[in-house]
Amino acid sequence: DQQVKQNSPSLSVQEGRISILNCDYTNSMFDYFLWYKKYPAEGPTFLISISSIKDKNEDGRFTVFLNKSAKHLSLHIVPSQPGDSAVYFCAASETGANNLFFGTGTRLTVIP
């Protein structure tokens, strides 16, 4: 029973263009959301997060948007760079819990 879903297993984007990665969740109790980036043979590394009291959080080239009514969040990367090529995991949590629920990841390829 997957509570966090990333329905696109892969995405290819030209360098300099915008990358949009999507994530849906089912548990309405989730109030904190994170994106992780993972290179091969490495562990996931934290990228950006957003709490449910906001609908947007921006950090440099990375922006996360949260639509609570649709239970949907997205990660925008602009401009995309070849070094952004990695697998991106969406994760969600409930305040007070000790667990993060992860999606299955989207492999982003940025083409030079």
Partner 1 sequence: DTAVSQTPKYLVTQMGNDKSIKCEQNLGHDTMYWYKQDSKKFLKIMFSYNNKELIINETVPNRFSPKSPDKAHLNLHINSLELGDSAVYFCASSPTGTGISPLHFGNGTRLTVT
Strand pairing partners for 108? 11, 86
DSSP label at residue 56: E
- Residue 62: CB atoms within 10 Å: 17
Judged by beta carbon, residue 69 or residue 98, the one nearer partner 1 is: 98
The answer to whether 11 contacts partner 1 (rule: CB under 8 A) is: no
Which span (18-26, 38-46, 59-67, 73-81) binds partner 1, by CB under 8 A? 38-46
Q: Which of 2, 8, 10, 14 binds partner 1 (CB under 8 A)?
A: 2
- Of 26, 30, 22, the residue nearest 3 (C-alpha): 26
Given the rule CB under 8 A, which residues bind partner 1? Answer: 2, 32, 34, 36, 41-46, 49, 51, 87, 89, 93-100, 102, 104-105
